């Protein structure tokens, strides 16, 4: 599989709650970082476990995937019932058909109020304003 296909498989398995499938996309010694909460997960089993234990009610919508060499960037939207919509920009390194590292920037859409000084320069976007799914490869 290409690096893009590995990442597509990862997210598809996440959506299906196919934890063995998720595990199959990860290197044994994968490292996943979530800078927002300053967490780092070492090893495929812990990465699967933290995702498996996350409270239910969510779905995965891949908005865009871009590959450059062994680096795949996925923009993913994760609506969660009764919580809101989250988005991640996941920078995933793929070697020998497995994800070896991922740095994931998670935000809640509309989760923060913009500073007052920007009110004259921007309007508030709605989740529906987002672009549709896009997949591309950059050489």
In degrees, rounded to 5, the angle at the alpha carbon of residue 70 between the alpha carbons of residues 68 and 75 is 60
Residue 97 lies in a domain: yes
Q: Which domain holds residue 14?
A: 3-110+121-137
User: Is the pLDDT assigned to residue 51 strictly greater than 50?
Assistant: yes
Residue 42 lies in a domain: yes
The tokens describing 51, both together, are 């995702």
How far apart CA 50 and CA 1 sit, in angstroms, is: 25
Q: Report the pLDDT value the prediction gives residue 119, as an integer from 0 to 100.
A: 85
The percentage of residues in the chain with a pLDDT greater than 70, rounded to a whole number, is 90
Residue 129 lies in a domain: yes
How many domains is the chain partitioned into structurally? 1
Residue 16 lies in a domain: yes
Q: Report the pLDDT value the prediction gives residue 101, as an integer from 0 to 100.
A: 98
What mean pLDDT comes out for the span 48-54?
Answer: 96
Q: What is the mean pLDDT of the chain?
A: 90
Residue 116 lies in a domain: no
Residue 115 lies in a domain: no
Neighbours of 67 (CB within 10 A): 22
What mean pLDDT comes out for the span 97-102?
Answer: 98
How far apart CA 6 and CA 20 sit, in angstroms, is: 14
Q: How far is CA 10 from the centre of its chain?
A: 10
How far apart CA 34 and CA 82 sit, in angstroms, is: 23
How far apart CA 107 and CA 89 sit, in angstroms, is: 9
127 — pLDDT class (breaks 50, 70, 90): low
111 — pLDDT class (breaks 50, 70, 90): confident
CATH of the domain at 13: 3.10.450.50
User: Is the pLDDT assigned to residue 136 strictly greater than 70?
Assistant: no
C-beta separation of 14 from 24 below 8 A: no
What global pTM score does this model have? 0.86
C-beta separation of 81 from 57 below 8 A: yes
Q: Taking Cα atoms as reference points, which of 13, 32, 33 lies closest to residue 22?
A: 13
């Amino acid at each position: 599989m290409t690096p893009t296909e590995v990442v597509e498989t990862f997210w598809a398995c996440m959506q299906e709650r196919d934890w063995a499938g998720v595990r199959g996309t990860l290197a044994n010694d994968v490292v996943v970082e979530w800078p927002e909460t300053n967490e780092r997960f070492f090893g495929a089993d812990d990465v699967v476990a933290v995702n498996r234990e996350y409270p239910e009610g969510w779905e995965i919508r891949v908005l865009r995937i871009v590959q450059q060499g062994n680096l795949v960037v996925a923009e993913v939207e994760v609506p969660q019932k009764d919580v809101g919509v989250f988005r991640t920009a996941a920078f995933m390194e793929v070697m020998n058909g497995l994800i070896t590292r991922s740095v994931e920037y998670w935000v809640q859409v509309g989760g923060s109020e913009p500073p007052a000084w920007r009110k004259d320069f921007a309007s508030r976007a709605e989740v529906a304003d987002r672009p549709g799914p896009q997949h591309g490869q950059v050489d």
